Amino acid sequence: MKPLFWMFSLFSLCAQAQAQWLSPQNDSHNTGAAHVEKVTAMPDSSMTVKLFHSMPIDAPSMNPWFLRLAVVNEEKLSWNVYHLPNVKSYQVLPSAKVGYLKIAIRQDDYNVQTGKNVERASTLFINLHNANQNGGRIEIDVK
């Protein structure tokens, strides 16, 4: 039931126009049987931030990349891991502000009326300002 809940909650994150707050999650369930494909260090001098994607063994055929954002929690000397939407592809874009991350994503959605997959593009604007704190959260605005 947990993976189904995540799928719907992440879909709703991308479908809504207003900003959403995400708290760090225990990532062992989704990446325990996964292969991390790529890790990207983010250029932010105020904290250690990495973006990574993985593909679990039982990955869905649509949007198979499980996109995650990891930020070093300086109080606990561990990682705060934030679950971003599952994607078909993504690209990190330059951000004009320190403490913010901008990611262009592509996702497939199934159109029930036509019976075909429809690709949609959007951009995640992520506010990282307290992501490195104990109990810290990130704010995501989807455009």
- How deeply is 101 buried, as exposed, middle or buried, from its count of CB atoms within 10 A (0-12, 13-18, 19+)? buried
Contact present, 47 and 129 (Cβ < 8 Å): no
pTM of the model: 0.77
The pLDDT mean for the chain works out to 80
Task: List pLDDT tens digits, range 15-48.
Answer: 556 788 888 886 544 444 456 777 877 766 678 8
Task: List pLDDT tens digits, range 64-85.
Answer: 888 999 998 888 888 899 999 9
Higher pLDDT, 43 or 118: 118
Run of H or E residues at 4:
helix 2-15
